[in-house]
Every structure is written in C-alpha cells, then in structure tokens.
Amino acid sequence: MNILGINGAIGWDGNIHRIFSDGSIINLRIHGSGVTLMMDGELKNALHEERFSRIKNDGNYPRLSIEKILEYNGLTKYDIDLVVYVCGPENMMQLGLKTAGYIDEKLQEYFPNSQVEFLSHHLAHAAATFYTSGFDEANILTFDGAGDSEFHQTGRWLVPHLKFLQGKDLTLTELYTEYYSVPPMYESFGHLYNKYSLIAYKNKMNLSKEMCTPPLIERLPGKVMGMAAFGDRHKIDLPEWFNFDKGSLQNSSAEQKLSEDDEELLKLNPDDLAAWVQHQFEKYLLLFLSNISKHIKSDNLCLGGGCALNILANTKILEEGIYKNVHVNTAPNDDGLHFGAALHLALKYEDEVFIPDDIGYLGIPYNDKDIDAALVSHKH
C-alpha cells in the first residue's frame, strides 16, 4: 500500500499571513508544507516544500516535493492508494474548504485511485513523536501556537493549543485538551513566547513594525532562546504568564493589552527580556508536568508541536527528574505533520511498519550528475 502524508494549502495561498475584512482578522498563513511516503509499511522519504520552492517556511500545496518523491520512488499519481491530509494551525479558510468537501475533491483529483483521509493537527504531532520513541507506553504532550479547529461538545468550533495524551502500544488516547475559547481564556505557550520574542528581537535589532514580516516572526523564538543566555530575568518586572490552578494553566495576563509598540516594553533590555521569556516558559511547563496525576503518570514523556523545539526547557524536564526519559522526534514542529500523518495511517492499515534508524535523513540523495547540474545552473 502506497501512502502519502501531506500538509499544505489547497485552494488558497498558504503564504498569506492575514487579511483584514470589516475589521476582522483572518489567518490564512500556514507553514511547514511537505510530503511523506510510506510504501508497504516502509518509511521511504519525507520532503519539505521549501527545499524545492526556495520559499522559507512555504505553506503552499507541496507540488514540487510530491513530484520529486514520486519520481525518486518510481511512482505516478495513479499508484497512490491513500492520501492523509493534515490541517494547519487555526486556519478558518482551511476549515471552510474542508467542511465544504473541496479539499477532499481536489486530493481525489490529484490522486485518482486514492482513498482520502484527514488527521487532526495535534494527533499528527503525537503520532510523530510517540511512534518514533521506541517506548511501549508514554505520556505525550503536544503544544504549540495553535492547532486546527475542532468541533467541541459545546457546539462550537474551537482551537486547541495543548493536548496531553497517553500512548500504549499502537494506541493514542487523548486525556486533556486546552482551547482558546473555553472560559477562563487561555493563551498558549507558543503565542506567548512569540509575542514577547517579537518585542525582544525588535529591541535587539532596532526593527520597525514594517520589517517584522511573518517569515521573520516564525523564526524568532529560536533566536530569543539563544539570547536568553546573555540576559538577567530578574531585571524584568512584567505580569506572570499564568496562574496555576487545579492542573490548568490560566492565563493571568489575558486582559493585558500587549503591544510591540508599547513605549515601556520598547525600553526593556532585549537580552534581559529574552531571559525572562525563557524562564516563564520553563517555569510553567515544569509546573504543569509536575502536577500530572500519579494515576496516569509514566516514566516516559514524548514531546511534539513547535514548542518542543525549546531544547533548554526539554533539558530542564530531565534535570528536574520529572520524567526518566524524554523523547522529541525529528521535526516536532509543523514541518513534521505530514510525517506523523503518514506514519499513523500506515500503522492503521499495514501489518508491519518499518522506520529506519536515521529518520533525520529522509530526503532525496544527490549524485554527481545532480551536483554538476547545480554548479552549471548557478555559475557566475
């Protein structure tokens, strides 16, 4: 069985960040588009569209990477038996097109002999990290800026930003979810880190608002994590990110009008602010994990989602002894959504699944002919 996992915009420009209509903000941008191929239970390749389009964090339908992965493995679009599509973060355009059946229709057009299935954003993150961990059982935490919209029991479409799951053998069981729209208002680890990272980096580089484009903003958390080593968090006096109450992280500054143009914030030393941001992230993540009920607590933890890229916090989890073993898969952010989706569906339909040890190296190799052609095409 040939299975493709796909993440990327179908029916709109996935590289558009926001449009303003009647005073409302509509988020159209997604990122990390790409494709993963499983053939008869064997993981063959996982490719990111940005490597071929040369657009950083490209969110569009991964046409080029799909062409490459099929060509390299000797397949055509008619040979694909199953396509699994992952929805991007907090994107109402995608929700509307999916609900209307448009995305399903287009995928069946692209792959005429294929069955089409969908997998939720956070479940794809969870599958990517748990099924590559080697653990028989584990707690799984997926957390990021935002996942895809889910139809909640309240009768509304809500956006999760954090899920806590239990993994056992090949089963993933959701235990706890935090949404933006359920009172009291929650704000995600990812959004908070991004907000303050933007302020810290603007201060550091003396950037104007116009210079802070979406592609830059998406890369800021990693830069600010590095800046944190040079600052003193004690020099920053800002409201705590959360109040911790009965196992939930209530945002304690939801009413705070945070603006990157606030004069007082612009006066803060960027390295000190970065250190404070990192401390807030670590403090409340460790507090959350330390209060997991002993009835569901495992010795093993698998982390997924964009926030799992924070290696300083991941290290602290081990240093504090909260878990004996911590696993973070290759590309835990949205770059790995298509990978998690393909793997999850392969485990559902195949009798056996083979994952190579070197899963950090799943691209297409380049031979001497490819290198010579590249040198000729870029010759000055």
Q: Examine the domain organization and report whether 237 and 315 are in the same domain.
A: yes
Q: Return the CATH number at 218.
A: 3.30.420
| Number of domains within the chain | 2
Decide if pLDDT at 213 tops 80: no
The predicted model scores a pTM of 0.90
Domain boundary among the residues 289, 308, 328 is at: 328
pLDDT one-digit tens code per residue, 297-318: 999 999 999 999 999 999 999 9
Q: Examine the domain organization and report whether 336 and 322 are in the same domain.
A: no
Q: Which of 41-45, 46-50, 232-236, 251-255 has the least mean pLDDT? A: 251-255
Q: Which of 40-49, 184-193, 218-227, 332-341 has the least mean pLDDT? A: 184-193
Q: Examine the domain organization and report whether 324 and 344 are in the same domain.
A: no
- Classify residue 60: in a domain, yes or no: yes
Q: Return the CATH number at 79.
A: 3.30.420.40
Decide if pLDDT at 370 tops 60: yes
Give the model's pLDDT for residue 19: 58
Domain boundary among the residues 328, 345, 363 is at: 328
pLDDT one-digit tens code per residue, 7-22: 999 998 888 876 555 5
Q: Examine the domain organization and report whether 97 and 203 are in the same domain.
A: no
Decide if pLDDT at 139 tops 80: yes
Q: Residue 196 — very low, low, confident or very high, per pLDDT cuts 50/70/90? A: confident
CA distances 330 to 76, 129, 254, 306, 366, Å, are 28, 8, 33, 11, 21
Stretch 177-201: mean pLDDT: 74
Decide if pLDDT at 86 tops 60: yes
Q: Examine the domain organization and report whether 113 and 219 are in the same domain.
A: no
Decide if pLDDT at 262 tops 70: no
Give the range of the structural domain holding residue 294, as residue numbers without chain letter. Answer: 189-328
- Classify residue 173: in a domain, yes or no: no
Q: Examine the domain organization and report whether 372 and 306 are in the same domain.
A: no
Q: Residue 322 — very low, low, confident or very high, per pLDDT cuts 50/70/90? A: very high
